[in-house]
Structure 1
Amino acid sequence: MSENETLRSVDLERIGIARYKAVNSRGGVLPIGSGEDPDFTPVELLLAAIAGCSAIDVDLITGKRAQPEAFSVHASGDKVRDENGNHLTNLRVTFDIAFPDGEDGDRAREFLPRAIEQSRDRLCTVSRTVALGSPVEFGQD
């Protein structure tokens, strides 16, 4: 794949004191704050990205068998400060999914654990990046 096919990016602009807007290449806008307002904090966005990435994987895989009647995902972690600086520990993603009665629902329920494993072990780019670790370069224009 060429860099144009693999590169993902967002731009961030300051919109106030400790408030920013992230803009993606498709024009989507997401406000980000420090926790003093309703905007998502960067840590909350990371948790949402992990949950969202796996939710999409699991939904697409199980949805081939049956559409869920209920689908929710909870992501959590403890923000700590230690000799390694600030970081999250105890990251956990839990799924609460209900499928309809019947053969299709049974097939989706049966496949659900495997779908979650596939997302965790190889499909979800966000959680895989966190789990594998990747250096982050910082610079200045």
Structure 2
Amino acid sequence: MTDPAHQTPELTDETFRSIALTRIGEGRYKATNARGGETFIGSGGDDPDFTPVELLLAAIAGCSAIDVDGITGKRAGATQFDLTASGHKIRDEQGNHLVGLRVSFDVVFPEGEAGDAARAALPRAIAQTRDRLCSVGRTVALGEPIEYVEGSTYG
């Protein structure tokens, strides 16, 4: 019998996410989301574009920031809200990958009762984003196979 807590939820149009990626130059790409937003990805040369590794770190930090800011912000808005995401890109017998991933929060709340409540909620909010809420961080932590397929190619 399958444990209901470990069943895969139904995959629907509502759960689906995607981006389109187009090469715009040597070592440069444009990613476009379904809402028309764009960001640029580079290979780490002379251009200012984020590398894929930097985007992954930004995605982990951004996902966690949204969660934690949402939880603590119900008590008091932060007067400072900064995160740093870091890790080491290494190559070993498993290929290229990141190790030592870390997200550091530097958050300041105003003085007073509401700020005290937000400060008290911060450790639990960070634990919740790490353990349950941040889909990007959870995917990295849990691991999920990626299917690579060849699509249509034209002349």
Instruction: Bin the TM-score by the shorter chain.
Output: over 0.9
33, 38, 45: which is aligned to 1:29? 38
1:54 is the counterpart of 2:64: yes
Question: Equivalent residue of 2:14, what SS?
Answer: helix
1:126-137 map, 5 Å: 126-137=136-147
Q: CA RMSD in A?
A: 0.7
Shift of 1:95: 0.1
Partner of 1:64 in structure 2?
Answer: 74
1:108 is the counterpart of 2:154: no
Shift of 1:103: 0.0
What TM-score, normalized to structure 2? Answer: 0.90
10, 17, 22: which is aligned to 2:19? 10
Shift of 1:2: 5.1
Shift of 1:3: 1.6
Deviations 1:29-76 (A, max 9, x none): 001000111100000000000000000000000000000000000000
What TM-score, normalized to structure 1? Answer: 0.99
Question: Equivalent residue of 1:7, what SS?
Answer: coil
Partner of 2:98 in structure 1?
Answer: 88
Partner of 2:87 in structure 1?
Answer: 77
Distance 2:119 2:86 in 1: 24
Question: Equivalent residue of 1:5, what SS?
Answer: coil
Question: Equivalent residue of 2:50, what SS?
Answer: coil
Distance 1:139 1:119 in 2: 32
Q: How many residue pairs get matched?
A: 141
Distance 2:12 2:38 in 1: 24
Partner of 2:108 in structure 1?
Answer: 98
- Structure of higher CA gyration radius: 2
Gaps of at least 5 residues in structure 1 are: none
Distance 1:15 1:88 in 2: 27
Deviations 1:51-108 (A, max 9, x none): 0000000000000000000000000000000000000000000000000000000000
